């Protein structure tokens, strides 16, 4: 069990780097948390107070300011104790109260929940970062301590926390410049998610050390000898890479452990910047450099302030060795990342010329995310920024453009300016014309060719990889299609209103827009109708709820299927959507009633060995209500008036369109998935015949299975 760090011990650790720290305030926070968590215990059995104090001690190791340390001590009080925001604010000030509240809100975010909720919460996470980055620092060290002590949690909770850490917190730590924390978080998560894989790596390491001896020590001595020969004063540190890092390399390169050579890493920490380049020269003269593995992050630092020279050489026995070369100041930023901004030494805020300003860092990270109101787009863009390595390309004038690995000239164009990206008609890489889907490499010079009248194309979404480019392309495509959506939406509204003997007047549509939360924006309502975000039936039912069932004539839909037990509920399978007139069979689904499937539904094959769950069913004879939804897959010419005519043809057959989804758009055709409410198979046949006879219908089929998400109208 972990021992509780005494308040005086904690204060002494902080005063060792910041003698001017407010010992009384830190002690008061300690006493407040101790009293608040009295009687609370962690799953390991130790007093709960051990955890927040341990987190504050980890932050003290980074030499952080008093406000961050106190926030760490109090970070669980608002959520888990009776201490209020007002009490913290009154005793410790608004700054600390706001930070504690920020950490509490982050703790309550379920970052690995459903995709939509995850995207929404990811935006909240980054908004918290933009307000005060120290909130994220406390949360990261909170997660680090929790991962170090995760063994006491139930296995399923361990797995959830480890996956969240691997997917969210580890990449975030790396993006903030704390690579050591990323490595440790990934390895701790790896130990939970794939213990056998980690054990395998560790066993091979032990065997390797037994066969080869102290390889790290010998290579370290070799490097020190070369530095001494050049008269370079430095510190050389070597280590074997962490198990997860090795596992990832094995997966990426599809190699066995025995074939991996770059499993050792070394750092050379010099006194000055010129010594870094002298050390690099000495290493390259002594050992053969590995082509393409050299990176100069001193002349081209990362956004989080990271500076270092990276190279790889073939060392003893042909072993590939990775070497990082940096000054002591660069090393401090490399260890602390963005947190170096708050670091103290001898009671003064550290004046490290390489420490990045947190405000400018977060602004640079999120500047092009703010243009998107869509959480999913924001999520996509942030994940690309966090997870991707960088490539550095040059404009014809020699300016550097940083892009994620795998970026294309199209991404380069949008990185320069949205206007240039939108007008992009071609590109030259190192003076040679290349396709827009070309993957850019480090160091190439890119020239963007523009054309007047050029606009973003739908096919560009398959080419662009950066969040900024994809968001700009989406916005342009939406603007281009908006007028078409509005026109289609008006036609859908007309047909739906006529179905209940009403007219889609501007007044009626304005009222519907207001009822649906769109204020009085009729154009927005029509655009969403045309894009399939809102169904025409929803609009009609909003205005005329008393007429919602007017179209239901004939057999009661609840009694449409015969062969069920009294009181047995049923629903049609979404995989096949059978309609009256088609042969059907039922499947009993525990706790869900009976699923009705067409006799030729492929899903039935999954239950061939469970015939006791099959029920012989048939449709009630007689006229059925037009409430059976069928999805029609139709490809039509992209010409004026065609969309409206298709809607009219369906309406003329007394069928209601309940949804329209654009599954594909090309300059010469549209592919649509149209949900139509029908009475029976004969009704479906008449609708299909009417559509097939139209000269602008290129292809027509009944769609079964999963329906893709609609493309938003704005």
DSSP for 374-411 reads: -HHHHHHHHHHHHH--EEEEE-TTS-EEEEETT--HHH
Give residue 696's pLDDT: 84
Helices H, strands E: what count in the chain? 27, 23
Q: Looking at 2, 79, 480, 694, which residue is catalytic?
A: 79
**Cβ atoms of 474 and 461 closer than 8 Å:** yes
On the question of pLDDT at 712 being above 50, the answer is no
> How is the beta sheet containing 614-616 ordered, strand by strand?
570-572, 593-598, 584-589, 614-616
- The span from the CA of 264 to the CA of 276, in Å, is 20
pLDDT band at 552 (very low <50, low <70, confident <90, very high): very low
- The span from the CA of 26 to the CA of 36, in Å, is 15
Locate all alpha helices (DSSP H) within 287-340, ordered by sequence: 328-336
**Cβ atoms of 32 and 55 closer than 8 Å:** no
- Residues above pLDDT 90, as percent of the chain: 27
**Cβ atoms of 413 and 424 closer than 8 Å:** yes
443 half-sphere exposure, CB direction, 13 A CA radius: 7
Any idea of the CA torsion for 299, 304, 307, 313, to the nearest 10 degrees? -100
Helix (H) or strand (E) holding 434: strand 432-434
Partners of 572 in the β-ladder: 596
Give residue 262's pLDDT: 61
Give residue 568's pLDDT: 81
Contacts of 690 (CB under 8 A, 6+ apart): 649, 650, 652, 653
Q: For the packed helices 66-74 and 85-92, what is the interaxial angle rounded to 10 degrees?
A: 150
Give residue 223's pLDDT: 93
Partners of 56 in the β-ladder: none
> Positive or negative, the Cα torsion across 626, 628, 631, 632?
negative
Give residue 713's pLDDT: 42
- 3-class DSSP assignment, residue 288: strand
To the query of whether residue 553 is one of the catalytic residues in this protein, the response is no
Give residue 551's pLDDT: 47
On the question of pLDDT at 430 being above 50, the answer is yes
pLDDT digits (tens, 9 = 90+) for 367-418: 544 444 455 555 555 554 554 556 778 888 888 787 877 899 999 999 999 9
On the question of pLDDT at 457 being above 60, the answer is yes
- The span from the CA of 687 to the CA of 695, in Å, is 15
Closest CA to 694 of 642, 630, 633, 653: 642
Q: Are strands 570-572 and 593-598 parallel, antiparallel or unpaired?
A: parallel
- 3-class DSSP assignment, residue 143: helix
pLDDT digits (tens, 9 = 90+) for 638-688: 887 788 888 888 888 888 888 888 777 776 788 888 999 888 888 998 888
- Residues above pLDDT 70, as percent of the chain: 84
557: burial class by Cβ within 10 Å (0-12, 13-18, 19+)?
A: middle
Closest CA to 278 of 310, 325, 316: 325
Closest CA to 494 of 632, 649, 651, 625: 651
Average pLDDT over residues 462-476: 84
**Cβ atoms of 687 and 678 closer than 8 Å:** yes
Average pLDDT, the chain: 82
Q: For the packed helices 66-74 and 133-148, what is the interaxial angle rounded to 10 degrees?
A: 50
Give residue 574's pLDDT: 86
**Cβ atoms of 56 and 137 closer than 8 Å:** no
To the query of whether residue 79 is one of the catalytic residues in this protein, the response is yes
Helix (H) or strand (E) holding 472: helix 467-499
- 3-class DSSP assignment, residue 113: coil
On the question of pLDDT at 114 being above 50, the answer is no
- 3-class DSSP assignment, residue 123: helix
On the question of pLDDT at 10 being above 80, the answer is yes
Residue 216's CB: how many other CB atoms inside 10 A? 18
* Whole-prediction pTM: 0.55
DSSP string for residues in 637-706: E--TTHHHHHHHHHHHTT-EEEEEEEEEE-SSEEEEEEEEEESSHHHHHHHHHHHHTSTTEEEEEEE-SP
Locate all alpha helices (DSSP H) within 230-351, ordered by sequence: 243-253, 273-286, 328-336
**Which domains does the chain show, CATH number per domain?**
7-193 (1.10.3210.10), 197-349 (3.30.460.10), 361-475 (3.10.20.30), 479-550+626-703 (3.30.70.260), 557-619 (no CATH)
- The span from the CA of 382 to the CA of 404, in Å, is 12
Give residue 709's pLDDT: 53
- The span from the CA of 468 to the CA of 497, in Å, is 41
- The span from the CA of 51 to the CA of 142, in Å, is 8
Where b means 16+ CB within 10 Å and e means fewer, 18-54 reads: beebbbebbebbbebbbebbeeeebeeebbbbbbbbb
- The span from the CA of 414 to the CA of 524, in Å, is 28
Which residue reads 């001896």 in tokens?
A: 213
76 half-sphere exposure, CB direction, 13 A CA radius: 24
pLDDT digits (tens, 9 = 90+) for 522-535: 888 888 887 767 87
- The span from the CA of 170 to the CA of 185, in Å, is 6
> Positive or negative, the Cα torsion across 420, 426, 429, 435?
positive
Tokens of 279: 């050390």
Comparing 37-46, 323-332, 565-574, the range with the smallest average pLDDT is 565-574
Give residue 106's pLDDT: 74
pLDDT band at 317 (very low <50, low <70, confident <90, very high): low
Comparing 109-113, 140-144, 282-286, the range with the smallest average pLDDT is 109-113
Helix (H) or strand (E) holding 629: strand 628-637
Distance of CA 271 to the CA centre of its chain: 40
- The span from the CA of 596 to the CA of 616, in Å, is 10
Quote the strand ranges of 538-627, DSSP E. Answer: 561-562, 570-572, 584-589, 593-598, 614-616, 618-619
On the question of pLDDT at 120 being above 70, the answer is no
Give residue 54's pLDDT: 95
Q: Looking at 46, 80, 183, 523, which residue is catalytic?
A: 80
On the question of pLDDT at 447 being above 80, the answer is yes
- Distances, alpha carbon 366 to alpha carbons 128, 361, 415, in Å: 12, 9, 13
Any idea of the CA torsion for 541, 545, 548, 550, to the nearest 10 degrees? -140
């Amino acid at each position: 069990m972990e021992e509780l760090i005494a308040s005086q011990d904690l204060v002494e650790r902080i005063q060792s780097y910041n003698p001017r720290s407010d010992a009384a305030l830190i002690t008061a926070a300690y006493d407040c948390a101790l009293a608040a968590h009295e009687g609370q215990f962690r799953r390991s059995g130790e007093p709960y107070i051990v955890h927040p104090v341990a987190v504050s001690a980890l932050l003290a190791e980074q030499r952080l300011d008093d406000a961050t340390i106190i926030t760490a001590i109090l970070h669980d009080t608002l959520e888990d104790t009776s201490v209020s925001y007002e009490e913290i604010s009154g005793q410790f000030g608004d700054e600390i109260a706001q930070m504690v509240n920020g950490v509490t809100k982050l703790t309550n975010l379920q970052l690995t929940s459903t995709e939509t909720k995850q995207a929404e919460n990811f935006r909240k996470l980054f908004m918290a970062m933009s307000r005060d980055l120290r909130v994220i620092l406390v949360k990261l060290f909170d997660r680090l301590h929790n991962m170090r002590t995760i063994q006491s949690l139930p296995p399923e909770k361990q797995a959830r926390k480890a996956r969240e850490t691997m997917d969210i917190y580890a990449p975030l730590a790396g993006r903030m410049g704390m690579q050591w924390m990323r490595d440790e978080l990934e390895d701790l998560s790896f130990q939970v998610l794939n213990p056998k894989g980690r054990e395998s790596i560790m066993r091979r390491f032990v065997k390797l050390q037994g066969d080869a001896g102290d390889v790290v020590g010998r290579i370290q001595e070799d490097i020190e000898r070369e530095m001494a020969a050049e008269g370079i004063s430095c510190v050389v540190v070597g280590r074997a890479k962490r198990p997860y890092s090795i596992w990832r390399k094995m997966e990426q390169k599809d190699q066995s452990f025995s074939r991996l050579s770059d499993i050792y890493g070394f750092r050379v920490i010099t006194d000055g910047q010129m010594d870094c380049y002298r050390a690099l020269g000495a290493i390259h003269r002594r050992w053969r450099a590995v082509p393409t593995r050299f990176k100069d992050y001193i002349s081209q630092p990362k956004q989080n302030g990271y500076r270092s020279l990276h190279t790889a050489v073939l060392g003893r026995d042909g072993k590939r060795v990775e070497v990082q070369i940096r000054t002591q100041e660069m090393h401090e930023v490399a260890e602390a990342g963005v947190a170096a901004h708050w670091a103290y030494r001898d009671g003064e805020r550290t004046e490290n010329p390489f420490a990045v300003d947190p405000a400018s860092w977060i602004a640079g990270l999120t500047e092009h995310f703010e243009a998107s109101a869509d959480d999913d787009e924001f999520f996509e863009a942030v994940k690309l920024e966090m997870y991707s390595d960088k490539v550095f390309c040059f404009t014809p004038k020699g300016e550097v453009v940083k892009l994620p690995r795998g970026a294309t000239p199209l991404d380069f164009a949008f990185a320069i300016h949205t206007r240039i990206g939108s007008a992009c008609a071609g590109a030259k890489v190192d003076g040679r014309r290349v396709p827009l889907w070309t993957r850019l490499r480090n160091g190439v010079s890119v020239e963007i060719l523009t054309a007047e009248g050029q606009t973003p194309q739908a096919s560009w979404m398959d080419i662009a990889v950066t969040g900024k480019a994809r968001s700009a392309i989406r916005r342009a495509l939406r603007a281009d299609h908006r007028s078409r959506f509005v026109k289609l939406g008006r036609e859908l509204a007309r047909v739906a209103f006529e179905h209940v003997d009403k007219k889609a007047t501007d007044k009626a549509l304005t009222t519907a827009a207001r009822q649906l939360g769109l204020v009085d924006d009729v154009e927005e309502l029509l655009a969403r109708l045309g894009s399939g975000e809102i169904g025409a039936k929803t609009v009609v039912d909003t205005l005329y709820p008393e007429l919602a069932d007017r179209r239901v004539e004939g057999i009661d839909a609840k009694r449409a299927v015969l062969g069920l037990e009294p009181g047995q509920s049923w629903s049609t399978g979404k995989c096949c959507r059978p309609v009256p007139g088609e042969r059907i069979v039922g499947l009993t689904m525990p706790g869900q009633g009976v699923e009705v499937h067409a006799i030729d539904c492929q899903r039935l094959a999954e239950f061939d060995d469970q015939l006791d769950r099959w029920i012989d069913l048939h449709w009630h004879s007689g006229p059925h209500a037009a409430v059976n939804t069928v999805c029609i897959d139709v490809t039509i010419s992209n010409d004026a008036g065609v969309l409206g005519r298709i809607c009219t043809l369906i309406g003329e057959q007394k069928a209601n369109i309940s949804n329209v989804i654009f599954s594909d758009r090309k300059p010469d055709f549209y592919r649509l998935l149209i949900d139509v409410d029908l009475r029976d198979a004969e009704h479906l046949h008449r609708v299909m015949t009417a559509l097939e006879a139209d000269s602008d219908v290129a292809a027509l089929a009944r769609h079964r299975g999963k329906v893709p998400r609609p493309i938003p109208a704005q």
